[in-house]
Amino acid sequence: MSRLVAAADLEGTLAEIETEILKAPAEALKLAKRCIDRGVELDPKGALETEIAAIEEQLAAGSWMGRK
């Protein structure tokens, strides 16, 4: 997600984003990084397939609900 913020609000906005990232399960962050790393090397269809595979992996693991 992209957004514009006033210079005066930048530090607060960064702190909010940091807080949200730190709440994410480690496995979800690992999969997101994998999608980014692989996605830049692929065409849009291949990148989408990588993202779908990561979503399916998360759903199968149940970690999106805080389960392992």
Crossing angle of helices 26-39/44-61, nearest 10°? 170
Question: pTM of this prediction?
Answer: 0.61
Predicted confidence (pLDDT) at residue 36 exceeds the cutoff of 80 = yes
Predicted confidence (pLDDT) at residue 1 exceeds the cutoff of 80 = no
pLDDT for the residue numbered 25: 87
* Six-digit token string for 12: 């607060």
Distance between CA atoms of residues 41 and 48, nearest Å: 12
pLDDT for the residue numbered 2: 85
Q: Could you tell me if 34 and 54 are in contact, meaning their C-beta atoms sit under 8 angstroms apart?
A: yes
pLDDT for the residue numbered 65: 58
Mean pLDDT of 51-58: 92
Contacts of 34 (CB under 8 A, 6+ apart): 50, 54
pLDDT for the residue numbered 28: 86
Distance between CA atoms of residues 23 and 13, nearest Å: 16
